[in-house]
Amino acid sequence: MFYPWWYVSGLTAPMLIAIIAVVHVIVSHYAVGGGILLAMENHHAIKTGNGKLREYWKKHAKFFVLLTVVFGAITGVGIWWTIGLASPLATEILIRIFVFGWAIEWVFFVVELTAAFAFYYYWDRLPPKTHAVIGGIYAIAAWISLVLITGITAFMLNIDGVLGDWSKTGDFWHAFINVQWLPQTITRTGIALMFGTLYVYAHATIVLRDDENTRVQVIRRMNKPFLCGLILVLAGFVGWFVHLPEISRVVLERSAALNVLSGLFVAAIVLIFILAVLGPMRDPKTINGGFAVCLLLFGIAALATGEFVREAVRKPYIVDRVVLGNQILVNDVERFQKTGFLENGYWTSLSLQKQYPQLWHAENEDRFAENELLHYPKEERLAAGRMIFMHHCNNCHAAEHGLSAIGPLVYGKTQTSLVQTVKHLNNVITMPPWCGNDAEANLLAEYLLTLAPNAHPTKENVLP
Ligand code: HEC
């Protein structure tokens, strides 16, 4: 309500965030897991004096640096751009709470980038021991950035602090060390390791096509990190589930789509495990590029569904119990319900004052006379309804046809029933409560009616 709305035509803003975020996590988990593997394996190659192995890891490092630094950094910044536009209030709140966390994160990010470049470009020019240390510095810095960012994303799902109640103290550490932080850090570390090995399988089988001996050595060394990653993922997943806020648990249990997706996530992990055991772990010689790339694709599918479920169970909040999915502070809901939605928003109130000065009474607590607006011409009522929709519903429902369109959801309803739906919005658990007054519910319902598709499936229009 303090910011203008933003609409991405055809796609909707949440979908745009989802796409960029999924691409980003695919790369960023590799940036951590792949970094740990590179550091370990480079160290191993130096220790055993295995020149061929070391040569392979140099090639891997080139691929790694290009992918993670270039792509990872661009999509990472892309996420901040899009969430800043799509969820400005939530982004503002997070920046206020976590500015110190981000400052530390940036320090580690700079360390990480410097170490990554030094690791690759000075590969043959540094004494091996120093080179191994730089690999280690990269791996640790990358993992610490994962730990820091997870503190913030975990807080969005559950604000309950381990050290104290953030909602009472406003303390940074109470926010950062929340009940979801450890489980999510463990899961993400596990995913990073598993994912790192899948990238290595794919890269090594293709690059070392003609060098079976080295290929087998590289692949065999991945067994431990893979299994270790799997155990961490499962352990963290249990912790995540145990520490879900009550509302998220209900959302998870009630939504068929989320149940299917959670099932797919677990199935994909199990499938990857079985394929890895039967393939590269049983006999590293047998796996070829195609098999390894398929394994990586399954990994990407698992990660994408996992992230989707993690995001979806947070509804109706963007930040648990602080900011609702439509950019409204939980603390503001009651006031909005009492005095009206439009008059309490920054941009919407300016618009009302300009358009309806005769209905604006700055001296009253309830400044705008919404009831009067109900007697105005239809176009003006619909314009007001649309303004409510764009600020109150647009974050999750599109006015246009296509993805997340509201039309089909209001199909077949009457204005009276829509008023009831709107006034009891949070009967659907994933929706925020209605944050306006009765007159505004009427205005919105009238506008919603115009969005409903009118194609009734009859014999005439269905059969040729
Ligand atoms: C935080 C996201 C979010 C916001 C904001 C939101 N909704 Fe929803 N809404 C949902 C979800 C999720 C569903 C259920 C999934 C579905 O059926 O598509 C839903 C379902 C609905 C339905 C179908 C309900 C039913 O019983 O079948 C209607 C109607 C609806 N929303 C209207 C609105 C209106 C009007 C607004 C704004 C005043 C709004 N929603 C705001 C997320 C949201």
The CA-based angle 321-326-331, given to 5 degrees, is 40
Token readout for 257 is: 């789509």
pLDDT of residue 353: 97
Q: Are 203 and 63 in contact (CB under 8 A)?
A: yes
Measured in angstroms, how far is the CA atom of residue 69 from the centroid of ligand 1?
A: 39
Cβ of 432 closer than 6 Å to ligand 1, yes or no, is: yes
Cβ of 76 closer than 6 Å to ligand 1, yes or no, is: no
Residue whose CA lies nearest to ligand 1 atom number 34: 393
Cβ of 409 closer than 6 Å to ligand 1, yes or no, is: yes
Return all residues near 51 (Cβ < 8 A) that are at least 6 apart. Answer: 45
205-220 burial: b if 16+ Cβ within 10 Å, else e: bebbeeeeebbbbbbe
> Can you tell me the distance from the alpha carbon of 147 to that of 311, in angstroms, rounded to the nearest whole number?
18
pLDDT of residue 11: 83
pLDDT of residue 415: 94
What's the distance, CA 76 to chain centroid? 12
Cβ of 327 closer than 6 Å to ligand 1, yes or no, is: no
Q: By CB neighbour count within 10 A (0-12 exposed, 13-18 middle, 19+ buried), where does 267 fall?
A: middle
Measured in angstroms, how far is the CA atom of residue 432 from the centroid of ligand 1?
A: 9
- Residue among 318, 425, 438, 450 to mutate when testing ligand 1 (max atoms within 8 A of CB): 425
pLDDT in tens, the chain (464 residues): 789 999 888 788 888 888 999 999 999 999 999 999 999 999 999 999 999 999 999 999 999 999 998 888 889 889 989 999 999 999 999 999 999 999 999 999 999 999 999 999 999 999 999 999 999 999 999 999 999 999 999 999 999 999 999 999 999 999 999 999 999 999 999 999 999 999 999 999 999 999 999 999 999 999 999 999 999 999 999 999 999 999 999 999 888 999 999 999 889 999 999 999 999 999 999 899 999 999 999 999 999 999 989 888 999 999 999 999 999 999 999 999 999 999 999 999 999 999 999 999 999 999 999 999 999 999 999 999 999 999 999 999 999 887 889 999 999 899 999 999 999 999 999 999 999 999 999 999 999 999 988 766 566 555 54
Position in ligand 1 atom list of the atom nearest CA 435: 38
pLDDT of residue 279: 93
CA atoms within 13 A on the CB side of 413: 22
Cβ of 410 closer than 6 Å to ligand 1, yes or no, is: yes
Residue whose CA lies nearest to ligand 1 atom number 23: 409
pLDDT of residue 79: 92
Measured in angstroms, how far is the CA atom of residue 390 from the centroid of ligand 1?
A: 13
CA atoms within 13 A on the CB side of 288: 2
pLDDT of residue 14: 84
